[in-house]
Amino acid sequence: WGILILFGGGLSLALAVQTNGVAEFIGSQAHHLAGMPSIVHIFGVTAVVLFLTELTSNTATTAALLPVLAAVAPGFGLHPFYLIFPAAISSSCAFMMPVATPPNAIVFGSGQVTMRQMMKAGLWLNLCAVVVITAVTLVVLPGVFTSIWKLN
């Protein structure tokens, strides 16, 4: 029962964020960040989404945030792919909490791994993932999408 309650809580939290307009509020407050370098935006989006998916469903998180990021990116002078790509990839990199993914819940439910052990190992994996996803977004993505990279 513990695993089911854990996932139910995560899905409920994600639905509450989406239903109550929290994602839209975050998007409306982003205009203060318009003058910052693109690496800051990409790093920030990657970190926020990655750590948010530790507590919520990755599907619900991306469903709520991707439209907001697509709308905010041109205000930063970025093609929307610069924010959507790292958000989509980082939503799949939840390693710290049992509620984050079914495999995490199964491992935790076995009783062989404590919450502290999961959080300690997962934190390092999350920090590495933020750096790698940011670097891949800045280095690889422009070459892959060269033909559509200009803002209209």
CA distance 106 to 112: 10
pLDDT at 151 over 50: no
What does the pLDDT read at residue 78? 85
Report DSSP letters for 23-72, one per residue. Answer: HHHHHHHGGGGTTS-HHHHHHHHHHHHHHHTTTS-HHHHHHHHHHHHHHH
What does the pLDDT read at residue 18? 66
Span 26-79, pLDDT tens digits = 666 777 777 889 899 999 999 999 988 888 777 777 777 887 888 788 888 888
Report CA torsion sign: 74, 78, 79, 83.
negative
What does the pLDDT read at residue 13? 66
pTM (2 d.p.): 0.75
Report DSSP letters for 116-139, one per residue. Answer: HHHHHHHHHHHHHHHHHHHHHHHH
